[in-house]
């Protein structure tokens, strides 16, 4: 039973799993973490702005990991302007990057490549036991080619 709901998990037309839950308690708890209605343009990390696990979730949900020119590590995050400013601040706190949030369509983006991207990927994914499977695998592939780029994890 999920959150006290006895509703069955359904399947959408696209094959995605769906469930409907009506819970004032869940809504209140999510709001404490910045998950509010119409959060696309106003979402923030609330009290989690220094939490690598939170940022891994952002990348798993609305980010991209890969390589540029087939060999340089790259990482992109997309989201609300306030959230991306917080991610850029996090990146600057754990690397020597001077990255800033930039406009991207109707939202914002933080994009890194090279050694700073490898460092952020390592910080977010090294030793992670909860992550989107395909992005964890991609991080391991990227980091496996970047010998010696393994910064100490933040506490």
Per-residue pLDDT, 10 = 85
pTM: 0.76
Per CATH, the number for 41-144 is 3.10.28.10
CA distances from 21 to 17, 31, 100, 149 (A): 13, 16, 37, 43
Angle at 130 between CA 31 and CA 45, to 5 degrees: 30
pLDDT in tens, the chain (155 residues): 455 667 788 888 888 888 777 788 888 888 887 777 777 777 888 889 999 999 999 999 999 999 998 889 999 999 999 999 999 999 999 999 999 999 999 999 999 999 999 999 999 999 999 999 999 999 999 998 554 444 444 54
Per-residue pLDDT, 147 = 46
Cβ proximity of 54 and 154 under 8 Å: no
DSSP sequence for 38-80: TGGGT---GGGTT-HHHHHHHHHHHEEEEEETTTEEEEEEEE-
What kind and span of H or E run contains 142? Answer: helix 133-144
Per-residue pLDDT, 138 = 94
Per-residue pLDDT, 155 = 44
Per-residue pLDDT, 4 = 62
Angle at 90 between CA 37 and CA 82, to 5 degrees: 30
Domain limits, the chain: 41-144
Angle at 131 between CA 48 and CA 83, to 5 degrees: 35
């Amino acid at each position: 039973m999920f959150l006290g709901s006895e509703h069955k998990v359904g399947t959408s037309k696209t094959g995605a799993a769906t469930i409907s839950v009506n819970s004032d308690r869940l809504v209140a708890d999510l709001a404490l973490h910045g998950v509010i209605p119409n959060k696309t343009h106003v979402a923030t990390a609330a009290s989690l702005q220094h939490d690598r696990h939170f940022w891994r979730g952002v990348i798993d949900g609305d980010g991209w990991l890969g390589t540029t020119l087939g060999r340089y590590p790259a990482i992109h995050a997309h989201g609300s302007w306030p959230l991306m400013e917080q991610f850029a601040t996090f990146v600057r706190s754990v690397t020597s990057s001077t990255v800033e949030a930039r406009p991207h369509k109707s939202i914002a983006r933080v994009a890194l490549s090279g050694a700073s991207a490898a460092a952020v990927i390592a910080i977010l994914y090294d030793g992670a036991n909860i992550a989107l499977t395909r992005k964890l695998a991609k991080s391991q592939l990227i980091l496996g080619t970047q010998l010696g780029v393994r910064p100490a994890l933040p506490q």
